[in-house]
Structure 1
Amino acid sequence: MQTFDQVIQSNIALIQKVVDFDAKNDQLLPLDFTAANTELTDEILDDTDLFSDWVNEKLAKNNASYGIGGYNEHRTIYSRSTHFDTEEEPRRLHLGIDIWGPAGTPIYNFYDATVQSFAFNDNLGDYGATIILTYDIDGFKFNALYGHLSLASLNGLEEGKFIPAATKIAELGAKEENGSWPPHLHFQLIKDMGGLKGDYPGVCKFSEREKYLANCPDPDLILKVTFS
């Protein structure tokens, strides 16, 4: 039986874009949201406009079309919201890849899919407008979560609706509708939704790292945007 990686690689020619990107002309900038990034002070993180300014300045300075935030990254930025706190251990390990860009940036479906669910997760630090699609590639079924979208992206959706590959499915949301973040896409692959709809943890406790990483494969299999 093929692994998830093998299934994706054997169908890579059929995998479409998630964002507009010209590899010859557009630049990507890795953004570090761990404790190693001392530029991100509490003052910046506590003010979404200052946080957005910081991201935009980084992109402009490096002539980058998008910033890229890493999978399996232990992040300090989640301390800005109690949404990620639990009594015994806060959630800090990032399970998706972020693509940071302007509000209104188009988001596309990378392969034929159906709508698993959608929701407006309107908590500080949450996903905001969220779409989850289900895929079946060579009999391997999995889901992809698209978070921090515009509210208008949810219009016209219904569970089970077929979404063809290469269809524009959403736009990046502004802070008022994306969980109060600088505009970006949280893109996450999920093998088993565990009965959840409209939501799935995008950040886990470090002590549960292996369990969650096993269920949430590296999204760069699809995106092809990281630098390792």
Structure 2
Amino acid sequence: MNTLLYALESYSAETICILDTTIPADAYVTLDLSKENKDLLNLDITDYTICQNYIDGVLTSKKGVIAYGGYLEHRNLYSDKEGFTSNSKPIRNIHLGLDFWCAAGTKVLVPIDGKVHSFKNNATIGDYGPTIILEHVLNDITFYSLYGHLAVDSLLGLYIGKDFKAGEVLATLGTPDINVNYAPHLHFQIIKDLESNEGDYPGVCAEARLSFYKGNCPNPNVLLKLDLSRN
């Protein structure tokens, strides 16, 4: 295990819930949006209303409030979005973070002490919309966490270097018109090297680049420790 993975694994033995503290860990249920999911074969999940209806069905059947998953998931979710399917570049369809699908306006919590590195409204269709990146130091290792698909007012009052303590409210989730055409959700990603990016970093990659991004963007659940086997 590399040093960052070890630091993330060692940070806490307990589950860290990344959304509203009134929502308990057992209300988080797993969601499969991969292209291998046969339930999605006849659904156009690029339409956020259809995607939301499917998610609502999963939440109802599993008695959950938040549906989560998606790390290294191969998805068709981006097939209608120009920046992911350019004829001149490899198709990007492998998701590099964890998604948490729940109601717009839900509070986003900071999982570990950090400070604002950068923020930006990435308003192109299919992008993150309002985005915040925090910088963290753990066991003398610097790394970053990215929070995408936020409400616009989440960026108000921010400044580079602003400190946040674990458990504090960082932001709230945006609506589809603000998060640029997705059902409401949080994209949470851990990044070792931002490669000079500010307020943005790739959240989806092509197969040819998977080895690099898998190493640079470890599974966020190593830190959060949500129980994937429970449901």
Same fold (TM over 0.5): yes
2:7 counterpart SS class? helix
Of all paired residues, the percent bearing the same amino acid is: 37
Partner of 2:219: 218
Alpha carbons of 1:123 and 1:41: their partners in 2 closer, same or farther (altered >3 Å)? farther
- Kindly indicate whether residue 61 of structure 2 is the aligned counterpart of residue 61 of structure 1: yes
* Unpaired runs of at least 5, structure 2: none
Partner of 2:161: 160
1:112 to partner: Cα distance: 1.4
Counterpart-to-counterpart distance in 2, 1:41 and 1:2: 38
Q: Which moved more, 1:48-57 or 1:13-22?
A: 13-22
Alpha carbons of 1:124 and 1:195: their partners in 2 closer, same or farther (altered >3 Å)? same
Deviations 1:41-96 (A, max 9, x none): 57632422222122122212321111112211111211031121232311011100
Partner of 2:93: 92
Q: How does 1:60-209 map to 2 (within 5 A)?
A: 60-86=60-86, 87-209=88-210
1:17 to partner: Cα distance: 3.4
Q: Which moved more, 1:202-211 or 1:14-23?
A: 14-23
Counterpart-to-counterpart distance in 1, 2:2 and 2:50: 46
Q: Which moved more, 1:32-41 or 1:64-73?
A: 32-41
Alpha carbons of 1:137 and 1:35: their partners in 2 closer, same or farther (altered >3 Å)? same
2:79 counterpart SS class? helix
Alpha carbons of 1:49 and 1:6: their partners in 2 closer, same or farther (altered >3 Å)? same
Is the contact between residue 34 and residue 70 of structure 2 (CA under 8 Å) also seen in structure 1? no
Partner of 1:33: 33
Counterpart-to-counterpart distance in 2, 1:9 and 1:92: 27
1:6 to partner: Cα distance: 1.6
Partner of 2:24: 22
Is the contact between residue 121 and residue 152 of structure 2 (CA under 8 Å) also seen in structure 1? yes
Alpha carbons of 1:129 and 1:41: their partners in 2 closer, same or farther (altered >3 Å)? farther
How many equivalent pairs are there?
226
Alpha carbons of 1:2 and 1:75: their partners in 2 closer, same or farther (altered >3 Å)? closer
Is the contact between residue 16 and residue 110 of structure 1 (CA under 8 Å) also seen in structure 2? yes
2:29 counterpart SS class? strand
1:39 counterpart SS class? helix
Deviations 1:85-137 (A, max 9, x none): 23231101110011111111111111211101111111221111100000001
Counterpart-to-counterpart distance in 1, 2:112 and 2:73: 26
Counterpart-to-counterpart distance in 1, 2:89 and 2:148: 26
Is the contact between residue 14 and residue 225 of structure 2 (CA under 8 Å) also seen in structure 1? no
2:210 counterpart SS class? helix
Counterpart-to-counterpart distance in 1, 2:63 and 2:13: 29
1:162 to partner: Cα distance: 1.3
Kindly provide the amino acid, as one letter, of the partner of residue 167 in structure 1.
E
Kindly provide the amino acid, as one letter, of the partner of residue 134 in structure 2.
L
What is the aligned-residue RMSD (CA, Å)? 2.1
Counterpart-to-counterpart distance in 2, 1:202 and 1:141: 19
1:49 counterpart SS class? helix
**What TM-score comes out, normalization by structure 2 length?**
0.90
Alpha carbons of 1:144 and 1:40: their partners in 2 closer, same or farther (altered >3 Å)? same
Counterpart-to-counterpart distance in 2, 1:205 and 1:226: 28
Q: Which moved more, 1:182-191 or 1:52-61?
A: 52-61
1:140 to partner: Cα distance: 0.7
Q: Which moved more, 1:29-38 or 1:145-154?
A: 29-38
